[in-house]
Amino acid sequence: MKKYILIADPSKLSRFLLENLLSEKYNILSVSSFSEAIDVLKETLPSLAIISYELKDRQGLELCRYMSNDDKLKNVPVIVISSNEDEKTRLAIYAEGAIDYVPKSKINDEFIKYIDELMELLSMIDISSATAFAVDDSILQLKFIENVLKTVRVNIETFDKPHALIEALKTKIPDVVISDLYMDDIDGIKLTKFLRKNKDLKHVPIIIQTSSRDAGILRTLMIHGANDYILKPYSPEELLLKFTTAYKSKKLYDELEDINRSLFAKATTDPLTGLYNRRFFMEQFTFLYLNAKRYNQELGFIILDIDNFKKINDTYGHTCGDEVLVALSKCLKSMLRESDIVGRFGGEEFVCLIPNVTKNGLLMVVKKILNSIRNTKIIFDDKVIGFTASIGAVSCTEMQSIDEIIKEADNLLYDAKSSGKDRCFVKFESEIIEIN
C-alpha cells in the first residue's frame, strides 16, 4: 500500500514538480494553504509532510506548530522547504518540530532519493521504547536531534551543558547518549572518559558528533569509550541509522545480561526457597573459610533441621511441607545480615555462614534464630501451623578443614535432636553451650 505524503506549498509549479517526482511511489496530498492542510489532516494521517516556509494564508511554521501540538500528528516527520538558509531561519524551523529543511534550489532527483531512503528507514525501525540524552552547546543542533528522534517516539532529554547531563544521570540512565565533541564546558572526550568510570553507564552507547575528519581524534574517541561518531553536518537518516544501531546493541547486551543473571540464578539457587543451593554454598564456604584462616578472622557455621518435618508432610501433605520450608527460608533471610550466607543443604536441612562474628555474637544469632522460628506460623487449609528447628553451630577457625566443620556441626545438631529438639548446641574449642 502506498504511503501518504502531504505537500503544502503556495507555488503551483513547486507542487507540480514534487508531485511529478513523488507520485509514482506515494499518494500525494497537495495543498497550498494552512486551512487546506488542516482540512486534509483531519481526514488523512500522512507518513511525511513537506511544508513550504511560506503558505498562502499563513507561515508554514504555523502548520508545523499545529502538527507538533496535535497528539495524532506530532510524530509525523516534517521537512520544511525554504529559500532562506541563514541560521536564524533554521533555528525557527527546528523550534517548530521539523526534522530537516531543504533549500528550494535542491528539489531534484537527489532530494527524492533522500525521501525514499528516509521513508523506508522510518517504516523499518522500531525504537519507540528507547530513551536518549543529548548534550550540545548549540541549541540549533539540539532541536534538530530532538525533532528527529521524537518522530520515531524516542524519549529524549536535551542539555546545553555537560554538567547538566551529568546531574541528570544521577537519577536516570538512558539507552543512548549523544554528545558533541567540542563544548566550552567539558569536551566530548573528557565527558566520555567520565561516563565510562560510572559502572551503571559502562554499557550505555555513546555517539559523538564531530566535524573533524582527523583520524587521530576519531581513534582517541573510540579508545576512551565512545561507541560511534557521526560527522557533521548529517541528515536525519544518518542520525536514525546511528542511533538505531547503538540502541539495538544496548538492548542485545541487556538481554544477554538478563539471560546470564537467569542462568546464574538457576545454577546457584534452590528453586523452591530461593536460597543458595548446596553446590554454590560450598563454593562460598571454601572462599570464606580460607579468607578467615588467612586474615585470622572469625567465621561461624550453623546447620539446622526442621523438627518433625516428616510428621508435617504426613499430616498435611507435601504442599504444606513446601510452605514450611519457604517460611523458614524467609525467616532466616530476615534474621541474618546481607553479608551472611544462607543455603538449603537438602531436604529440611539449612546452613548459614556468619563472617566476622564473636563468640557472644554467634550465641546471640542462634538464639534469635530459635526464637524467630518458634514465632513463625503458616496458615494451611484454614489451620495455623507452627514448627521448630534443632541447630548445631561451631566456630570454624578452630578446625582444620571444611569437612571437619560440617561433621562437628552435624554431631551437635544430632545432640540437639536427641536432647528434646527445639534447641541449639554451640561449640567453641572444647566448650559446648546449650541454648534453648
DSSP per residue over 24-68, as a string? TTSEEEEESSHHHHHHHHHH---SEEEEESB-SSSBHHHHHHHHH
Residues 163 and 295 grouped into a single domain: no
Distance CA 302, CA 427 (A): 11
In a domain, 270, yes or no: no
> pLDDT tens digits for 39-66?
999 999 999 999 999 999 999 999 999 9
> pLDDT tens digits for 3-27?
999 999 999 999 999 999 999 999 9
Residues 105 and 133 grouped into a single domain: no
Q: What is the mean pLDDT of residues 70-78?
A: 94
What pLDDT shows up at residue 164?
Answer: 95
The CATH number assigned to the domain holding 108 equals 3.40.50.2300
- Max mean pLDDT among 43-47, 84-88, 215-219, 393-397 falls in 43-47
Number of domains composing the chain = 3
Residues 65 and 33 grouped into a single domain: yes
Residues 113 and 137 grouped into a single domain: no
Question: How many CA atoms are closer than 13 Å to the CA of 122, on its beta-carbon side?
Answer: 23
Q: Which domain holds residue 23?
A: 1-123
Q: What is the mean pLDDT of residues 252-265?
A: 91
Query: Is 398's pLDDT higher than 80?
Result: no
Q: What are 30's strand-pairing partners? A: 7
Among the candidates 194, 223, 256, a domain finishes at: 256
In a domain, 428, yes or no: yes
Residues 299 and 250 grouped into a single domain: no
Distance CA 55, CA 9 (A): 6
In a domain, 272, yes or no: no
What pLDDT shows up at residue 84?
Answer: 83
Residues 309 and 234 grouped into a single domain: no
Residues 145 and 42 grouped into a single domain: no
